[in-house]
Structure 1
């Protein structure tokens, strides 16, 4: 078997990945020829009449990576001496060092096993004939597909539960420092599941974007196996630079960003497929339609455009997104695509209606995250906020952070929605939270760099000049309260003076800015992760905020409790 080669230093990503794909195809062809020779040489009586060697799993899909297992089924029609035929195939495979998962079945036996074993069913859905009786192989595939479709109302909920348990165990691929490329949410396994859901005729199969994402993850897994010489699917930190080089990429940061993008594409597609499956398995008397906002209608559990929606309205996309988030419903993928292709988007400076719709979307809280993701998958976010491209899918590479930079910003903004009643300007809190780390990925201090970017974005969004200066201050000093409270002596008057000086950037709005920074500290800490925020830090920040408020007012005034 010819092993795939590792990329040379001069290879670009396209050449390196093409080499890996070619190596997998060549290996699949060589394995097929070898296995075919083992089967045809086994018995005195020809096997093309009543015996078939079937590949399932990754080899059936011609995706077998260097550390992957070979999964084979020897199918027969009650043939005498089938055990001897099996031994003449299995033993050479074992002797070669390949890990083999094998079985010997009649069509009836294979069909029975598939109806009771989800793993066996998923494998047989992708079954591919290597050698032997084609009619026998076709009979098996037809029977398994017939059973799968007939049993879909029962099997799909079972498969859904298995996926949720796997996701709980392995986490979300896009946001893990050391992800499992196969089993994590958004990984290779989920693409195989998408094919299974499609085989039930409940949802369409993976589209071109999902297939491209799958190929990226498969190439990464292939490179990982070659780099480590092991069958591991977990991309640990110490292997990431080597895997990046094997893929012709500059470094681990580029690799992680591509993996995050691929995983989020797969996760988004899977969420839509499972919504379709859930609707299929629920008993429904008819399709429900009800208005959920101006230009938005709930159509069978998804938000679609109303018939009279004005595609020339620059606020339409954001307003429909906000309506979906407040209704707790997803946007229908076809609606997102239509908005991306045909809806007018706001020009700078944004009209007030578009800015209000953005604030309303963020103000919906956690329900806005899935809606934002849908807009992002369609490319709408970077068209609305071009600066978003620099933080999109950018890895943090820090165990304190749970998310990529862009997802952290959205998590912070939607988390800040719970604090909007505690501040005088909820709109500035939400937009400031969305932009507080917008400077990451650029040279210099991300707070200072981000402040300049936030100033420009604030102006583009149509905020008045004073509000733009408040946004700039929020981004510039979003770490002021937690860092000062935990690193300096709060009893020192100079510590409080540091805070009051920072919030005095916009005269007359000092207390407003202080309250906004306090709320932003809570939302930012909670969105970062458990290690970034807790009762101890909250108590210190509350105390510092109280002292700064007293200094600003000349007395003691209540402040937002952060505990």
Structure 2
């Protein structure tokens, strides 16, 4: 671009400026720099024409102008700096020609000392002076100002940075998040140009610096859009209004307004994520300086498996708490354990994300970067653990949002879900919608996380919530397109065919209930018939009901109301009456040969018989087995292999308290129960034998030694090991950490039709160490028999059913059943 020659007189500036803005050639940063240079020359000429002395006076650009990039309608932030007295006429000879030329001027006349005093009292003034740039006059005076201001800023950083952060929070509350607004403020909204100024100010303290990858490109994109907005409207506005977006897109050579918004949103997310990372670093540094840091003499909790491989965290006296296999908490973030091997563990990104969200943390920037760089893609179909960890992440509710944003910032989300790229940052030009398509999906999962007690399959609800609008990235009806996409995605995730079908139905029909309830006569039998043609079972109906509400709540305040909720609830009740009894009964799998052998052994000996089978739960394949009491096969062996789980089969002559006792032993060994079943067998006609089949995995670290696990099970069964006391002692000694808020447990007695021979108690709760032990102890204390049990952990949610009888083997009376339910509810607190 050719720059017009510097004007020789003040009146030449407007024409030269107009020629520059209208000239063909590259816009963006080159034009902003040229405009700043043109203005510099003009103001320097004004200072000389005003008769300023050769020393002791300087003209200084501050704020945005000081950064040397001037937008078409930006104010000119100028400071006349002096030492010693100056005449009143000197500044007037500079300011009046600027006003006469039609330029907006923000001006001040101060000494260095006065500028420092103002900065100490006014944070915004101090931020402007951090960008001070010499224009004309005494350069030594400007240099003295810059040196003094930077020195003051660094010295006052511990006090000033919290104030700066609070300013950012206030702006975010007033203007919202730039990356989700249909008419965003490019400067003031969260993720906008003001946040970039704050990041530069933090860097100037030398305490912390923002992650720079993509940040400069994001800053340039926002500035370019602002320039085009100024030129399109002819006004000094920062709000990208709907009526202006087509013109701005055309000026920038962008395909259309939607493409423009996506580019703006992507830039804003880069800035917002960099801000989050930087402010977390500032918090850690300031806490350490104030003595509130978390550094201790040694590791707070030793854990196994931490000595192999390269560590992702610095060695030193830093408190680290195990969260999951390969993941620890450090300085309020989830980081990789020193023995973690991302290249050999493709599930690690999801495991780290789930552990972070469930503990109310986020994943550290360095950890996410390393996971993105080193982890291989997940195999197809996904290992079981990957699916479980995704559900656990989504089930954390609000705590999942910053973790998801961290994964998305490094491209890990689109690596997991390739179709996500089509909805990422996609605007929704509908006043009802608060969010972009991708954030709406995450917000729907957040809402659904609060509804997991309402459904028997919380995992399907959460995944359907995350994917219900995935078809909006494709032409045509998004529900139809979404059904096709979800069938493929669910199969890739490793869901069995029946679950794939359920997810496809939920995505295809996610608008059916609200549309039907608000547009059809709910009392017309044809209305109910229309629903039952696409929703064939009560479990599907309860999932669709919860998804409908979560979707509407995540859309915005106008999408859901008490009136709409009552219409949908009424329709669901009518459909449920029609579908009553349509659900398929649970079919009990026949005992395996190993289980039958154990049952016979227990019946003949009158003692426990158990078998352990080590299983690579993350791949679904068996690694090794241990039959009976063979001490040679240790599921914790082979330290170089991938972490293992255990299938445990235990047969014991019927006795009270068995379920809680065995669950307590597993909890003592930090084994989490993924699924379990209990049933009665009478293999030799000598009396009932209880058969327990478990699938468990290590909470973190390696599995316990098989021989020790067997020994503790025997001791617990013969009464020589007080499991409850040991668990209480361990819990009392462990440091307490406030967990994420979760829905309260649901303990309910199922309708009598659920079983003709037993009372069915349903328990839905957030999974926690020792949960099944507490339930078992409560049932034992209530004096009831657990004839059959079906235990599932879906993500972080426990969905359990217990078939109970009285000591004589009869179903419980209604009042008695209510008392048992209350006892279990009290045990879960």
Taking a change above 3 Å as real, the CA distance of residues 156 and 450 of structure 1, as seen in their structure-2 partners, is same
Say yes or no: does 1:63 pair with 2:69: yes
Q: How does 1:134-213 map to 2 (within 5 A)?
A: 134-205=139-210, 207-213=212-218
2:58 to 39, 52, 60: 52
Q: How far is the alpha carbon of 1:371 from its aligned partner?
A: 0.3
> Which one is further off, 223-232 or 303-312?
303-312
Cα distance in 1 between the residues matched to 2:581 and 2:456: 20
Say yes or no: does 1:544 pair with 2:571: yes
Cα distance in 2 between the residues matched to 1:79 and 1:173: 46
Q: How far is the alpha carbon of 1:42 from its aligned partner?
A: 2.2
> Which one is further off, 310-319 or 388-397?
310-319
Q: How far is the alpha carbon of 1:515 from its aligned partner?
A: 0.7
* 1:482–1:521 contact (8 Å) kept in structure 2: yes
Cα distance in 2 between the residues matched to 1:54 and 1:159: 24
Name the residue aligned to 1:507: none
Q: How far is the alpha carbon of 1:44 from its aligned partner?
A: 6.4
1:37 to 38, 45, 49: 45
Q: How far is the alpha carbon of 1:57 from its aligned partner?
A: 1.4
Cα distance in 2 between the residues matched to 1:299 and 1:20: 42
* 1:5–1:20 contact (8 Å) kept in structure 2: no
Name the residue aligned to 1:519: 546
Name the residue aligned to 2:86: 80
* 2:62–2:129 contact (8 Å) kept in structure 1: yes
* 1:7–1:246 contact (8 Å) kept in structure 2: no
| Structure number with larger C-alpha Rg | 2
CA deviation digits over 1:475-512, x for unaligned, max 9?
A: 000011111111111001111111111113xxxxx111
Say yes or no: does 1:376 pair with 2:408: yes
Name the residue aligned to 1:106: 111
Name the residue aligned to 1:292: 323
Cα distance in 1 between the residues matched to 2:353 and 2:432: 31
Say yes or no: does 1:341 pair with 2:373: yes
Q: How far is the alpha carbon of 1:19 from its aligned partner?
A: 1.9
Name the residue aligned to 1:469: 501
* 2:57–2:141 contact (8 Å) kept in structure 1: yes
Cα distance in 1 between the residues matched to 2:94 and 2:510: 65
Taking a change above 3 Å as real, the CA distance of residues 427 and 490 of structure 1, as seen in their structure-2 partners, is same
Q: How far is the alpha carbon of 1:429 from its aligned partner?
A: 0.8
CA deviation digits over 1:301-347, x for unaligned, max 9?
A: 11110111131111111000100101111111011000000022312
* 1:191–1:206 contact (8 Å) kept in structure 2: no
Cα distance in 2 between the residues matched to 1:44 and 1:274: 44
| 4+ runs deviating over 4 angstroms | 4-8
Cα distance in 2 between the residues matched to 1:273 and 1:214: 16
CA deviation digits over 1:21-53, x for unaligned, max 9?
A: 32212111111111111112322642xx21111
CA deviation digits over 1:6-32, x for unaligned, max 9?
A: 799xxxxxx8xx423322121111111
SS at match of 2:431: coil
Cα distance in 2 between the residues matched to 1:45 and 1:367: 61
Q: How far is the alpha carbon of 1:59 from its aligned partner?
A: 1.3
Taking a change above 3 Å as real, the CA distance of residues 491 and 369 of structure 1, as seen in their structure-2 partners, is same
Cα distance in 1 between the residues matched to 2:375 and 2:329: 19
- Specify which structure has the bigger relative contact order, considering alpha-carbon pairs within 8 angstroms and separated by 6 or more residues: 1
Cα distance in 1 between the residues matched to 2:205 and 2:328: 28
Cα distance in 1 between the residues matched to 2:52 and 2:470: 71
Q: How far is the alpha carbon of 1:394 from its aligned partner?
A: 0.2
Name the residue aligned to 1:278: 283
Cα distance in 2 between the residues matched to 1:254 and 1:33: 38
Aligned residues: 541
Cα distance in 2 between the residues matched to 1:205 and 1:541: 48
CA deviation digits over 1:215-252, x for unaligned, max 9?
A: 11111110000000011111110100110111100111
C-alpha RMSD of matched pairs (Å): 1.6
Cα distance in 2 between the residues matched to 1:127 and 1:191: 16
Cα distance in 2 between the residues matched to 1:414 and 1:448: 24
Q: How far is the alpha carbon of 1:535 from its aligned partner?
A: 1.3
2:256 to 247, 251, 262: 251
* 1:362–1:413 contact (8 Å) kept in structure 2: yes
Name the residue aligned to 2:237: 232
Cα distance in 2 between the residues matched to 1:342 and 1:134: 50
Q: Looking at secondary structure, tell me which structure has more helix per residue.
A: 1
Cα distance in 2 between the residues matched to 1:220 and 1:125: 25
Name the residue aligned to 1:485: 517
Q: How far is the alpha carbon of 1:5 from its aligned partner?
A: 4.5
* 1:53–1:72 contact (8 Å) kept in structure 2: yes
Cα distance in 1 between the residues matched to 2:63 and 2:69: 9
Q: Which runs of 5+ in 1 are unaligned?
A: 9-14, 505-509, 559-563
Cα distance in 2 between the residues matched to 1:419 and 1:45: 74
Cα distance in 2 between the residues matched to 1:165 and 1:541: 38
> Which one is further off, 449-458 or 150-159?
150-159
* 2:28–2:220 contact (8 Å) kept in structure 1: no
* 1:54–1:75 contact (8 Å) kept in structure 2: yes
SS at match of 1:19: coil
> Which one is further off, 274-283 or 114-123?
274-283
Q: How does 1:331-480 map to 2 (within 5 A)?
A: 331-480=363-512
CA deviation digits over 1:275-305, x for unaligned, max 9?
A: 2222333332424321122211111111110
Cα distance in 2 between the residues matched to 1:477 and 1:141: 63
TM-score (norm 1): 0.93
Cα distance in 2 between the residues matched to 1:420 and 1:430: 8
Q: How far is the alpha carbon of 1:554 from its aligned partner?
A: 6.4
SS at match of 1:78: coil
Say yes or no: does 1:26 pair with 2:53: no
Name the residue aligned to 2:347: 315
* 2:363–2:406 contact (8 Å) kept in structure 1: yes
Cα distance in 2 between the residues matched to 1:7 and 1:537: 56
SS at match of 1:254: helix
Name the residue aligned to 2:758: none
CA deviation digits over 1:184-223, x for unaligned, max 9?
A: 1111111001111111222114614111111111111100
TM-score (norm 2): 0.64
CA deviation digits over 1:339-382, x for unaligned, max 9?
A: 00002231211111111111111111110011000000001111
* 1:54–1:127 contact (8 Å) kept in structure 2: yes
Say yes or no: does 1:122 pair with 2:153: no
Cα distance in 2 between the residues matched to 1:232 and 1:354: 47
> Which one is further off, 471-480 or 20-29?
20-29
Q: Looking at secondary structure, tell me which structure has more strand per residue.
A: 2
Cα distance in 1 between the residues matched to 2:143 and 2:552: 57
